[in-house]
Amino acid sequence: MRSTRRTRRCLGGLALLLAAASFGPAHAATRPAKDYDRIVDAVVARYRLPGIAVGVIEHGQVVYVATRGETIAGSGRKITPRTLFKIASNSKAMTTALLGRLVDQGKLRWDDPVTKYLPDFRMYNLWVTQNMRVADLLTHSSGLPEGGGDLMLWPEPNAFTRADIIHGLRYIKPGYSFRSKYQYDNLLYVVAGEVAAAASGAPYETLMRREVFQPLGLNRCQVGQWSRDAVGDVAEPHARKGERNLLTDEDGPAIPAIASAPAGGIRCDLDDMLAWARNWLAPTPAQLKWLSAEQRRVLQSPHMLIPVSDQRRDWDDSHIMAYGYGWRMTDVDGSWTVWHTGTLNGMYSELMLLPDRKDGFVFLINGEAESARTVLGEALLKHFTKPDDTHDVTWYADALQHADAQASKRAAAPDTSAATPVAPAALAAWTGRYRDPWLGDLALCPDGDRVHFAVAKSPRLNGDVMRLGKRELVHWSKHGMEPDAWLDFHPAQAGQPATLTMAKVDPLGDFSSDYEDLHFVRTGDCP
């Protein structure tokens, strides 16, 4: 899902990974609440967060719960432990737990071919289609380019169905060979949700409520369609503009079901996320019957290596990193960690487990918080893995700010403030109707004294065409829809129509804005 921009490099091998899983220093004494308060307050102040909910587990027990801020900045409605947040990609572990339940029930196997359940499933390559197993949907190693096809999921709302997404996969060219490397994607988790539905004969949303929420007592977690006012206490996303946190997308009274739910569409409150975490750290006998020890092991075992970043090596002395089924895992200061993050526009989360110690933490944020999440996660984690660490929130925040500045220098985005609207006459050779095989129809047509870009199935992918130097770009109309995109026109040749390709104006922009995977072909004139 919409994810970090940091670069990573691979190190080590699977044998080291498995060995690292057995590491674990002696248990630290329970920390006083004021220690956690100090960390949380410092992060909130540094990044001026609109709202946050934080919980810490030690020895399998919740020892700290804290909330700060408001559901909507300036509203006076305080965040509570029962405030619902979008957990984004933390939904993936719930989807894989559902699949694990179905494996326990004998309704599917991890090595079953996807086409056994979804006969119309197709990847770009026929051999990959035939050999794609249920397990391959979960490890980000399918060949799909990073974030490939995410524009069918976000921005929301849009008109793409899960059937559209499954059909669109056949048109997305691979970025690498099948099972050869890790490249994060979201679409195949949508496919996994449909596999679960086909195997059980019930919709994904029904299965999630019946097989995961209800047995574990996750009574406020929501998926599918629900009523905002009936449920109540819902955090809304914010974007940072200057010194202010601005509401970006307030929910209406009826929350619609969304195609992206298996990949990142679940909402939960802090209380339920802590209950979810404890199920993994210190399961009760009833929870061990809910999901077998064997399937718990499978979900949180390494299945695909992930490159280890320089930052992780420097900060955490990490040697190895991997992806399980809906979980990441790595060694941190000699302790084994199992974790995931969640990112949607204006919503950030993290769930961290130290299973050998039965420790962990969860936090949920309703604002722009990529750096805040990194710093808060690091500061909390060090209390467990390196309690004598002398670095505080300010040190980690300053170090991260410096690293981000260096990365921006290496791949600097152009200053687009001087871009000017393009008049229809100046773009007359290129205006018209276009079509991409998976994103669908595009209208690039005059609108008064400007040229407007509008994707039919994704209404927020619309904006005016601007010129910067000798290039055209589309500047999105909706605030928070960064990054803008370059438009590159290619003339008709050899009897073939003109085409349009795109690229992020900011080369470090969110990989879910996968404009580079689009290939529009001109289909006709503007109305």
The pLDDT tens digits for 301-327 are: 999 999 999 999 999 999 999 999 999
pLDDT value at residue 407: 86
- Its CATH architecture, for the domain 14-84+222-410, is 3-Layer(aba) Sandwich (3.40)
- Average pLDDT estimate for 278-297: 98
Helix (H) or strand (E) holding 294, with range, is helix 293-299
| Omega cis (within 30) before 459 | no
Paired tokens of 131: 């050999």
CA angle (193 as vertex; 187, 195 as ends), nearest 5: 105
CA 451 to chain centre: 32
Q: Does pLDDT of 452 surpass 90?
A: yes
pLDDT confidence bin for 31, thresholds 50/70/90: low
CB of 321 within 8 A of CB of 306? yes
Q: Does pLDDT of 28 surpass 80?
A: no
pLDDT confidence bin for 489, thresholds 50/70/90: very high
- DSSP result, 113-125: BGGGT-TT---SS
Least confident among 2-16, 333-347, 434-448, 498-512: 2-16
Burial class of 74 by CB neighbour count within 10 A (0 to 12, 13 to 18, 19+): exposed
pLDDT value at residue 20: 37
Burial class of 233 by CB neighbour count within 10 A (0 to 12, 13 to 18, 19+): middle
pLDDT value at residue 10: 33
Show Cβ contacts of residue 293 under 8 Å, excluding neighbours closer than 6 positions: none
What are the boundaries of each domain within the chain?
A: 14-84+222-410, 420-524
Whole-angstrom Cα distance, residue 504 to residue 147? 13
pLDDT confidence bin for 433, thresholds 50/70/90: very high
Q: In the chain, what is the straight-line distance between the N-terminal and C-terminal CA atoms, in Å? A: 36
Q: Number of C-alpha atoms within 13 angstroms, CB side, residue 4?
A: 18
CB of 59 within 8 A of CB of 27? yes
Paired tokens of 198: 């086909």
pLDDT value at residue 250: 94
- Average pLDDT estimate for 124-136: 98
Q: What is the mean pLDDT of the chain?
A: 93
**Bridge partners of 488?**
501
- Average pLDDT estimate for 337-346: 96
257-270 burial, b at 16+ Cβ within 10 Å, e below that, comes to ebbbbbbbbbbbbb
CB of 73 within 8 A of CB of 235? no
Q: Is 241 helix (H, G, I), strand (E, B) or coil?
A: strand
CB of 88 within 8 A of CB of 349? yes
Q: Does pLDDT of 166 surpass 80?
A: yes
Q: Is 226 helix (H, G, I), strand (E, B) or coil?
A: strand
How far CA 1 is from CA of 41, 149, 152, 226, in Å, comes to 28, 11, 12, 23
Q: Going along 25-69, which residue ranges are E strands?
A: 51-58, 61-69
Q: Is 405 helix (H, G, I), strand (E, B) or coil?
A: helix
Least confident among 27-36, 122-131, 163-172, 216-225: 27-36
- Average pLDDT estimate for 400-423: 92
Show Cβ contacts of residue 508 under 8 Å, excluding neighbours closer than 6 positions: 5, 407, 408, 411, 413
- Average pLDDT estimate for 76-102: 98
Residue with more model confidence, 12 or 51: 51
Q: How many CB atoms lie within 10 A of CB 455?
A: 21
Q: Does pLDDT of 41 surpass 90?
A: yes
- Average pLDDT estimate for 370-381: 98
156-188 burial, b at 16+ Cβ within 10 Å, e below that, comes to bebebebebbbbbbbbbebbeebeebbbbbbbb
**Domain 420-524 part of CATH 2.40.128:** yes
Show Cβ contacts of residue 347 under 8 Å, excluding neighbours closer than 6 positions: 85, 86, 88, 235, 237, 364, 365, 366
CA 286 to chain centre: 31
Show Cβ contacts of residue 119 under 8 Å, excluding neighbours closer than 6 positions: none
